[in-house]
């Protein structure tokens, strides 16, 4: 298994609003191309929301890992 | 010798916290609130100003009148905080020391971060901006109106949705609805951050003929071409563009190294205590908590901070932790509104829009000055 070291980790567990996706979008906006951002989310909606946004915005979803009580999303800013 | 408690910022959170610390501790604490202007603004009212439903006079009150007599008000601007020496440098010169510090410094608008925004877009996130937008809307001949979001996080997440609903009604009353197209360009893949609320409002958008653009996070405005572009790689033409400007934490937070890269103060989500400095607390928009930046958040956090500080001064255990409580109204136009309530443990719930909630919002607007700043509404 290849481990990617994130440039930034956002702990958004337990947060409903504005939510983990909004935190990710904010981090991508501020980041540089190639940055890897990890988001921790316990919000079930993140599994569809984050995937859909990363696809639409043409970034790269490096991994989605289920942990106890939350999911780790690793995203690379591609452009 | 009373403990020195300094509150920076005379918004809703700072005002309630100052009043409650003073009320709780009496002569055990000397509470001083420092604010650059000493004028308290009711920011939820800006939306009503932009749409010609309220005038600016209703939205401002002298901060002194909202504070208990025992709380000192200092009109000055904090320029640097030294957390090691517990001292604050002031713009007019000199420093003031503290035993406990409350950062209620709010959010600042960073319109300059989006190319073309200042020249090409309007907003209702300041009183001046709301008044300018009101004047434009008064003579708007009809055309394409785009409401978008130029930065996350931003204050009052329901505001863009409320704006398009109220705008639709406004255009209808002016007789130019048929000559106008309204687009809500949402930063998410739905109308609103909260899915349950989106399910409620999206059919209403559709019924009112308001177009919903999704995953549109503003990147730049091109005023000469009248086009706004997104970081997702799309563009929208407009005749009138209304944008939520980017937000940052206060300058003093950034200059003092007390915040993250956007100037938001990192705090414990339960105690609201600064992650590094145990004599500093933060409230409301100033914090880095990824929950709503809104007056209601500050309103519910202020008693927690007051309780935490009072307990530390007395050497007791705090009565309250912050449970993530937020409650917002969402106007849906045509005399209807809904609400959004949630906390860390309970997902958001929104009732069907009704006249009842619209009346409740108006009652809250009217009763705000007599109830909220004093901490009379829990």
What residues in chain B have their Cβ under 8 A from chain A's Cβ atoms?
151-153, 157, 187-189, 193-195, 215, 217, 231-233, 261-262, 269, 289-292, 324, 326, 340, 342, 344, 347-348
- pLDDT score of B177: 97
Tens digit of each residue's pLDDT (9 = 90 or more) over B92-132: 999 999 999 999 999 999 999 999 999 999 999 999 999 99
> Which residue from B minimizes the CA distance to A58?
B232
Asked if pLDDT for residue A31 goes beyond 60, the answer is yes
Prior bond of A18 cis (ω within 30°)? yes
Residue contact B215–A22, C-beta within 8 A: no
* Residue A52 touches partner B, C-beta closer than 8 Å: yes
CB B210 within 8 A of CB B184: yes
**Domains contained in chain B, CATH given:** 3-106+250-325 (3.50.50.60), 111-245 (3.50.50.60)
Closest CA to B264 of B247, B276, B242, B278: B247
How is residue B182 annotated by DSSP? E
- Distance (Å) from the C-alpha of residue A2 to the closest C-alpha of chain B? 28
- CA gap B93, B224 in Å, rounded: 45
> What does the buried/exposed string (b/e) look like for B155-192 if buried means 16 or more CB atoms within 10 Å of the residue's CB?
bbbbbbbbbbbbbbbbbeebeebeebebbbbbbbbbbb
| Cβ-contact B313, B278 below 8 angstroms | no
**A33 interfacial to chain B (CB closer than 8 Å):** no
The average pLDDT across B240-254 equals: 97
From A1, A2, A17, A33, the catalytic residue: A17
For chain B, say whether A4 makes contact (Cβ under 8 Å). Answer: no
Residue A3 lies inside a defined structural domain of this protein:
no
Is residue A1 one of the residues assigned to a domain? no
Strands B87-90 and B78-82: antiparallel
Catalytic residue at A74?
no
Contact (Cβ atoms closer than 8 angstroms) between residue A37 and residue A75? yes
A12: nearest CA partner in chain B: B290
Q: What is the mean pLDDT of residues A55-71?
A: 95
pLDDT at A16 over 70: no
Contact call for B195 and A45, based on CB within 8 A: yes
* pLDDT of B81: 98
Q: Is the pLDDT of residue B377 over 80?
A: no
Q: Percentage of residues in chain A with pLDDT exceeding 90?
A: 54
Best of A17, A23, A42, A43 to mutate (most B CBs within 10 Å, chain B)? A17
Q: Do B232 and A12 touch (CB under 8 A)?
A: no
Q: What average pLDDT score do residues B72-88 get?
A: 98
The answer to whether residue A17 neighbours chain B at the CB level (below 8 Å) is: yes
B186–chain A nearest CA distance, Å = 11
Instruction: Write the pLDDT tens digit of every residue in B177-226.
Output: 999 999 999 998 899 878 888 899 999 999 999 999 999 999 999 999 99
Provide the shortest C-alpha distance from residue B91 to chain A (in Å).
30
Q: What is the CATH number of the domain that holds A43?
A: 3.30.110.40
Question: Do B187 and A29 lie within an 8 Å CB cutoff?
Answer: no
- Minimal Cα–Cα distance from A46 to chain B, Å? 11
Q: Is B234 exposed, middle or buried (0-12, 13-18, 19+ CB in 10 A)?
A: middle
Higher pLDDT, A16 or B63: B63
Query: ω into residue B199 within 30 of 0, thus cis?
Result: no
Question: In residues, how long is chain A?
Answer: 79
Residues of chain A neighbouring B326 (CB-CB closer than 8 A): 17
Q: How far is B293 from chain A (nearest CA, A)?
A: 9
The answer to whether B194 contacts A15, with C-beta atoms less than 8 Å apart, is no
Cross-chain residue pair B217–A25, CB shorter than 8 Å: yes
Chain B residue with minimal CA distance to A29?
Answer: B231
Q: Is residue A2 domain-resident?
A: no
DSSP letters, B224-261, are TTTEEEETTS-EEE-SEEEEEPPEEE-HHHHHTT-S-T
Q: Per-residue pLDDT averaged across B308-317, rounded? A: 95
DSSP class per residue in B183-238:
EEE-SSSSSSSSHHHHHHHHHHHHHTTEEEE-S-BEEEEETTTTEEEETTS-EEE-
| pLDDT level of residue B378 (50, 70, 90 thresholds) | low
B35, two tokens: 């604010």
Report, as an integer, the average pLDDT of B57-62.
88
How many structural domains does chain A have? Answer: 1
Tens of pLDDT, residues B328-359: 899 999 999 999 888 888 878 888 999 999 99
Element (H, E) at A44: none
Quick: pLDDT tens for B151-160: 888 999 899 9
| Whether the Cβ atoms of residue B259 and residue B249 lie closer than 8 Å to each other | yes
Is pTM beyond 0.80? Reply is yes
Cβ–Cβ < 8 Å for B247, B155: yes
Mean pLDDT of the A37-55 span? 91
Are A16 and B269 in contact (CB < 8 Å)? Answer: no
- Residue A1, pLDDT > 60, answer no
Assess if residue A19 is contained within a domain. Answer: yes
Instruction: Report the pLDDT value the prediction gives residue B69, as an integer from 0 to 100.
Output: 96
Q: What is the pLDDT of residue A2?
A: 57
Report the residue from B153, B232, B348 with minimal CB separation from A26: B153
Residue of chain A with shortest Cα separation from B187: A22
Domain range enclosing A14 = 8-76
A22 CB neighbours in chain B (<8 A) are: 152-153, 187-188, 193, 290
| 3 state SS of A71 | strand
């Amino acid at each position: 298994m290849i481990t990617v070291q994130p440039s930034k980790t956002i702990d958004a567990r337990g947060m409903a609003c504005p939510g983990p996706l909004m935190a990710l979008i904010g981090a991508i906006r501020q980041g540089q191309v190639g940055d890897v951002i990890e988001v921790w989310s316990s919000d079930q909606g993140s599994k569809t929301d984050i995937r859909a946004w990363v696809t639409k915005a043409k970034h790269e979803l490096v991994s989605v890992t289920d942990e106890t009580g939350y999911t780790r999303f690793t995203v690379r800013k591609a452009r | 010798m009373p403990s020195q408690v300094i509150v920076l910022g005379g918004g809703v959170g700072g005002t309630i916290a100052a009043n409650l610390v003073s009320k709780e501790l009496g002569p055990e604490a000397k509470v001083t609130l420092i604010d650059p202007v000493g004028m308290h603004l009711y920011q939820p009212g800006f939306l009503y100003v932009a749409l010609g439903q309220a005038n600016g006079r209703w939205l401002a009150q002298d901060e002194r009148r909202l504070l208990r007599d025992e709380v000192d008000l200092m009109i000055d601007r904090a320029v640097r905080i030294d957390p090691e020496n517990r001292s604050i440098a002031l713009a007019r010169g000199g420093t003031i020391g503290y035993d406990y510090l409350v950062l209620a410094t709010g959010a600042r608008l960073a319109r300059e971060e989006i190319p073309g925004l200042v020249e090409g877009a309007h907003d209702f996130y300041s009183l001046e901006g709301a008044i300018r937008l009101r004047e434009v809307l008064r003579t708007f001949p009809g055309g394409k109106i785009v409401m978008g979001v130029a930065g996350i996080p931003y204050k009052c997440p329901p505001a863009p949705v409320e704006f398009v609903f109220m705008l639709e009604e406004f255009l209808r009353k002016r007789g130019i609805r048929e000559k106008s197209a309204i687009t809500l360009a949402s930063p998410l893949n739905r109308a609103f951050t909260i899915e349950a609320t989106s399910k409620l409002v999206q059919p209403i958008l559709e019924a009112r003929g308001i177009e919903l653009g999704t995953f549109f996070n503003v990147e730049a405005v091109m005023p000469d071409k009248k086009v706004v572009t997104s970081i997702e790689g799309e563009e929208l033409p407009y005749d009138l563009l209304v944008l939520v400007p980017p937000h940052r934490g206060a300058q003093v937070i950034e200059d003092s190294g007390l915040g993250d890269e956007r100037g938001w103060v990192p705090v414990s989500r339960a105690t609201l205590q600064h992650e590094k400095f145990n004599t500093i607390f933060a409230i409301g928009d100033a914090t880095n908590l990824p929950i709503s930046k809104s007056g209601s958040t500050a309103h519910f956090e202020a008693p927690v901070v007051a309780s935490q500080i009072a307990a530390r001064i007395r050497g007791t255990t705090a009565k309250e932790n912050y449970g993530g409580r937020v409650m917002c109204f969402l106007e849906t136009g045509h005399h209807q509104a809904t609400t959004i309530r949630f906390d860390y443990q309970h997902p958001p719930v929104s009732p069907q829009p009704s006249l009842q909630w619209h009346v409740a919002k108006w009652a809250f607007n009217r009763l705000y000055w007599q109830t909220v700043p004093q901490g009379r509404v829990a």
